[in-house]
């Protein structure tokens, strides 16, 4: 799964701008609350933080048991690792850009040019995050594979599925709802009168779109794009199922070295790099969600 299907949870947050939440009843200090929250926190510490710390430690331990940087030196200079980092970053950036573009378009049509059947569309989009990533790859094999429907239709030999483009297309398919849903919500909050005023003052539709509509949803779009970036960097199922030899991302490298070749220390090094990359992206996501969202809310109040 990974963050494969961050659904409602992550999307509900932009709808609740920080700082505008109703003041909760004062229920004791933060310390007492933290005391009550200890049981779940202990579970997270035991089964998440402690293993993660061991992964970091393991990456610095030699086979003889002493501390070493040799594993890091080996891994970082290996061609698989370099290619893995480049692939992971490129695919994530491509998927985020593609999802932002397509998701914005789909959300715009749903919000501003609704047609009969739009409810069915929203229903499908709501269910989609429950779909595992490998489903997309399986269906792509029938659609775009060398013996697939598209090749039968064109009579040619279109063969992009087992390249980075195949991974990219599959991830765009999987993650577009994560951009589309928050944007539909954000578009819905723009007062229609504002658009009508802009139009009646003589602004062409494109100008209304660029200068009135899009600036309004920029925080939501930025947050959703960051989320896709994070999910795409962590995506495992799609890359594993496509299984092309030269399309290996960091999570797949962790799996290959950890489980297939049983080289735990090397797998741990890749895992540490992957976690640092993910946490960086996650930090940006949280920052966009809170900081910029807050600024936006303040501007609106003025």
Partner 1 sequence: MLVWTRTSRSVLVVLFVVVFGVIVVAPLAVIGLAAVAASWRGVLPGGLTGAHLAAATGGDALASALVSVQTALIASAGSVLLGGWAAFALHGSRGRIRRLADGLLHLPMAVPSVVVGLGLLVAFSHPPLLLNGTRWIVLIAHLVLVLPFSYSTVSAALERADPDIALVAACLGASPARVLLTVRLPLALPALAASAGLALALSMGELGATIMLYPPDWRTLPVGIFAQSDRGALFAASASTVVLLGLTLVGLLALNSVRTRAAER
CB of 164 to partner 1, least distance (A): 18
CB of 58 to partner 1, least distance (A): 6
Closer by beta carbon to partner 1, 165 or else 255: 255
What is the C-alpha separation between 291 and 105, in angstroms, rounded?
26
User: What 3-state DSSP class applies to 235?
Assistant: coil
User: What backbone phi and psi angles, to 5 degrees, belong to 263?
Assistant: -100, 80
CB of 300 to partner 1, least distance (A): 18
CB of 296 to partner 1, least distance (A): 18
What is the C-alpha separation between 292 and 273, in angstroms, rounded?
28
Q: Give Cβ neighbours of residue 277 (< 8 Å, ≥ 6 apart).
A: 88, 89, 233, 250
Closer by beta carbon to partner 1, 131 or else 185: 131
CB of 141 to partner 1, least distance (A): 6
CB of 232 to partner 1, least distance (A): 11
* DSSP string covering 91-102: HHHHHHHHHHHH
Closer by beta carbon to partner 1, 121 or else 185: 121
User: Which residue in the block uniquely carries the two structure tokens 């944007």?
Assistant: 183
Closer by beta carbon to partner 1, 177 or else 182: 177
* DSSP string covering 142-163: HHHSTTSHHHHHH-S----TTS
- Helices within the chain (DSSP H only): 8-15, 30-36, 38-44, 50-58, 70-77, 79-112, 118-127, 133-144, 149-154, 164-188, 192-200, 205-208, 214-234, 237-242, 250-255, 264-287, 293-301
Closer by beta carbon to partner 1, 249 or else 302: 249
Closer by beta carbon to partner 1, 73 or else 279: 279
CB of 179 to partner 1, least distance (A): 12
Say if residues 247 and 164 touch (Cβ distance below 8 Å).
Answer: yes
Closer by beta carbon to partner 1, 33 or else 70: 33
What is the C-alpha separation between 100 and 94, in angstroms, rounded?
10
């Amino acid at each position: 799964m990974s963050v494969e299907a961050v659904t409602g949870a992550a999307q509900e947050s932009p709808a609740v701008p920080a700082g505008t939440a109703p003041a909760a009843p004062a229920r004791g200090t933060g310390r007492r609350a933290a005391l009550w929250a200890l049981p779940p926190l202990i579970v997270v510490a035991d089964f998440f933080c402690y293993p993660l710390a061991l992964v970091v430690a393991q990456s610095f331990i030699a086979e003889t048991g002493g501390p070493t940087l040799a594993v890091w030196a080996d891994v970082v200079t290996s061609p698989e690792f370099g290619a893995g980092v480049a692939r992971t970053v490129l695919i994530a950036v491509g998927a985020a850009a593609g999802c932002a573009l397509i998701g914005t378009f789909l959300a715009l049509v749903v919000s501003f040019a609704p047609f009969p059947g739009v409810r069915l569309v929203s229903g499908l989009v709501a269910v989609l995050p429950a779909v595992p990533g490998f489903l997309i790859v399986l269906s792509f094999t029938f659609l775009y594979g060398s013996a697939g429907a598209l090749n039968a239709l064109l009579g040619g030999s279109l063969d992009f599925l087992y390249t980075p483009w195949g991974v990219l297309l599959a991830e765009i398919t999987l993650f577009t709802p994560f951009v589309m849903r928050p944007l539909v919500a954000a578009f819905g909050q723009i007062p229609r009168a504002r658009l009508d005023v802009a139009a009646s003052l003589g602004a062409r539709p494109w100008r209304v779109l660029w200068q009135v509509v899009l600036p309004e949803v920029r925080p939501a779009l930025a947050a959703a794009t960051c989320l896709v970036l994070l999910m795409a960097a962590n995506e495992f199922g799609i890359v594993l199922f496509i299984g092309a030899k030269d399309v290996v991302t960091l999570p797949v490298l962790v799996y290959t070295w950890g489980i297939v070749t049983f080289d735990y220390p090397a797998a741990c090094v890749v895992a540490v790099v992957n976690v640092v990359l993910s946490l960086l992206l996650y930090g940006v996501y949280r920052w966009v969600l809170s900081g910029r969202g807050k600024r936006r809310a303040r501007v609106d109040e003025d």
